[in-house]
Amino acid sequence: MIERANHLTRNVSKIISASSNCSLYERMQLINVLERLCLDHLFKEELNVILSEIYKTNDISGSDLQTTALWFYLLRKHGYQVSPDVFAKFKDEQGNFAANNPLDVLSLYNAAYLRTNGEIILDEAVSFTKRSLESLLTNLQGPLAHEVKCALEIPLPRRVRIYEAVGYFKRKQKNPREAKYYIAVHGQANEVIMELAKLNSNIIQLQYQQELRIITRWWKNLELESRLSFARDRVVECYFWIVGVYYEPSYSRGRIILTKVLAIVSILDDTYDVYGTLQECELFTSCVESWDPMVANGLPENMKFIFGKIMDTYQSIEDELSPEEKYRMPYLKNFIIDLVRAYNKEVKWREEGYVSATVEEHLQVSARSGACHLLSCASFVGMTDIATKEAFDWVSNVPKLVKTLCIILRLSDDLKSYEREKMTCHVASTIESCMKEHKVPIHVAREIIQDMIEETWKDFNKEWFNTNNHVPKELLERIFNLTRTMEFMYKQDDAYTNSHVIKDTISKLFVEHVLMI
């Protein structure tokens, strides 16, 4: 299988080289296809050269809407700051865009979601294309209908590629015609790329299975399931979540470390949410702040047990690092301490029945209790030497890219968990703060929160294009992917708590082999 994959990789590399004789659209579509099938990591240097050439050429004045939209989407997705004015020629005085078919509309829709604040033409494009796609959907069939439906749920720039790819392979087995739509490269190239994509998926799956065995063995050795009946047992879901942050084979250590951190975050969340009293949580917070096992003697037995497991996990992560990398661990510790302080503040709010006067006040605490600042830092810990001390200093200051991730998670989580949490004794959410701040009923507050999510995505995109940020894109991509996974996990439901909704995707990713037919 490996030998065949290597042979196909060489053939696809030749296809990429030969694409220099193709049209701009064909070259860009080839990149798009390889990325959506999660093959781009095999050809990173070649694809980066093509993207750089496309950006430097920077002439699409005679291109149609679909080509222009794909150009804009690919370049912005890769962090190039290109102007939305390229769409002006397609817009009439009534605010409509000259989209001649559903693919034109879909391409513009996906491109426009890489907008930033103040880009009015992209806001208009989102409004126009969303209305158009919703209207067109009733008359569409087959793969295009599926693609439009997925885009309306989560626009392409925000989707998790590895989840998408495994879903596509399964749909293709049921409907072979789907490949003809999905891959706009023809003839032999189509067959070569598809065979490599399927083989690559199966090879990576074997690695995921091996890593899952390591993770589940670690989890069982913690003996949490038998001791902490109140805590969610979601270690497979944790690993699934983290595969969305980095799916590539080379990031094995990063996946294992980040999964352990996420699993510990889940235990801490449940401890403060549903188990500890106010006094116990105060003691536990002080204990974590001290980072001293001797201080834990005053804790209740279960909390002493949890603290010990945090220490054990921290040590197991440190053991994964080389001597030159161990400087990374204090950054991780500081974020864990900040997280439990935020949890503890929410426990006080819960016991007092306190509702923040504004959403902004709420986010001062709840953006931190979502743990995304910790996860951003932890996503660097298992990386190679590309994660330098300067990168850890940067992430430890919680820069705007990380802040916006934290806000997107918090607001998205609150939208999906509000009804469930209202049935228990739970801290007031941003929805209740929004109702209080604006003096509006819940349905209006939900709309305001959804608008805030969209505005925050614009801020996130702006930071993604920030040319003054000297942190390597390979690291920033982890944060972008974390944000994408938040969109996936909280779009339809709280998929982590109600994990049955992602059961099929987990099975496709870790269990079901792609048939080589």
3-class SS letters over 371-387 = CHHHHHHHHHHCCCCCC
Q: Note the pLDDT of residue 172.
A: 65
Give me the residue label for tokens 């809407």.
65
Q: Are 230 and 73 in contact (CB under 8 A)?
A: no
Q: Note the pLDDT of residue 102.
A: 93
* Residue 17 CA: distances (Å) to CA of 6, 10, 46, 74, 196: 17, 11, 8, 19, 17
Helix axes 142-153, 120-137, angle to 10 degrees: 130
Say whether 319 sits in a helix, a strand or coil: helix
**Dihedral pair phi/psi, residue 97, rounded to 5°:** -110, 145
Q: Note the pLDDT of residue 184.
A: 45
Which of 516, 511, 517 has the alpha carbon at shortest distance from 205?
511
Q: Which residues of the chain have pLDDT under 50?
A: 181, 184-188
Q: Note the pLDDT of residue 265.
A: 96
Q: Which fold has domain 222-511?
A: Farnesyl Diphosphate Synthase (1.10.600)
Q: Are 79 and 37 in contact (CB under 8 A)?
A: no
User: Domain map of the chain by residue range?
Assistant: 1-194, 222-511
Q: Are 215 and 316 in contact (CB under 8 A)?
A: no
pTM: 0.94
**Dihedral pair phi/psi, residue 91, rounded to 5°:** -110, 135
- Residue 458 is which amino acid? K
Q: Where are the alpha helices (DSSP H) in 439-499?
A: 442-464, 473-490
CATH among 3.40.190.10, 3.30.420.10, 1.50.10.130, 1.10.3720.10 for 1-194 = 1.50.10.130
Domain 1-194 matches domain 222-511 at the CATH topology level: no
Q: Note the pLDDT of residue 334.
A: 98
3-class SS letters over 58-78 = CCCCCCCHHHHHHHHHHHHHC
